Amino acid sequence: MIADFRGKTAFITGGAGGIGLAMARAFGHAGMNVVVADIDEAAARAAVERLAAEQVKAVPVRCDVSDRAGVRAAALEAVAAFGKIHIVCNNAGVAVGGPIGTVGERDWDWIVDVNLKGVVYGVETFVPLIRSHGEGGHIVNTASMAGMISPPGMEPYSATKFAVVALTEGWAAQLAPAGIGVSALCPGFVRTRIHESGRTRQDKYGGVSEVDALGQGASEAAQAVLSGIDPDVVGARVLEAIKAGETYIFTHPNMREFVAMRFAAIMAAFDLAEQSPALKAVKEWTSPIFGSSQEP
């Protein structure tokens, strides 16, 4: 856990706008140096200029999180600029959705490579660097409320965000002994440009697109995003959650009921399993991970 943010350094992917820029602003106002990493170099430079006007010390770095070598190169630039990295926010993300069978192969590759593999590359690149200075640190992986519930038509997005939550839970246990916290940021609707993420879509995934493959609910999804909360509220929430060592960072407590409904359905399924005639023959349940228990 980081007790004092002053003089520490944060590296933020997707840092040129939206939640990324809001986190950069919150960290900078807390006395941190900030590395604004983004695939859009011009946007990253503009963000750094805005931060400088607020007395935040920041540098721009180009970073395509779908490219492991590119993430490593960005990390080297960050170290060259500020020496040690303490907080890493794997925040870059894109959105794809649609009815079954309508999501293209390159759409799947794009969203998995950015939303999921980008988080893996960020953690595997920066954890050794944080370990090396021994001052502790924190990793924030941007998931979503879609990492807790899965709205119909948004399965590609939800699948990647569920995976980010799963990774975060396991890594939090692994890295706690090293003094490195790990959190999953699960916001609801926030005023960002996630519905326009095709504007920076790489050529290998089909190139720039003015309209994302959000399926039949594209306009409704865009309106929900544009009606969301201010990103700066999320930035402040992340800062307080890191201070408190929270694993799950929620920004929309009004969405609790949807998660509760999902958990209730899961518990009901366990009740059915307990009553299952097919499972009566099992006298003891064993697992190398969870241990053993007697038949209920």
Catalytic residues: 157
Using CA atoms, how far apart are residues 198 and 193, in angstroms rounded to an integer?
10
Whether 234 contacts 186, CB under 8 Å: no
**Amino acid, res. 4:** D
Locate tokens 């140096």: which residue?
33
Using CA atoms, how far apart are residues 134 and 252, in angstroms rounded to an integer?
34
Whether 15 contacts 47, CB under 8 Å: yes
Using CA atoms, how far apart are residues 73 and 91, in angstroms rounded to an integer?
17
SS3 192: coil
**DSSP E strand boundaries for 113-219:** 137-142, 180-186
Strands 137-142 and 180-186: parallel
Using CA atoms, how far apart are residues 187 and 254, in angstroms rounded to an integer?
11
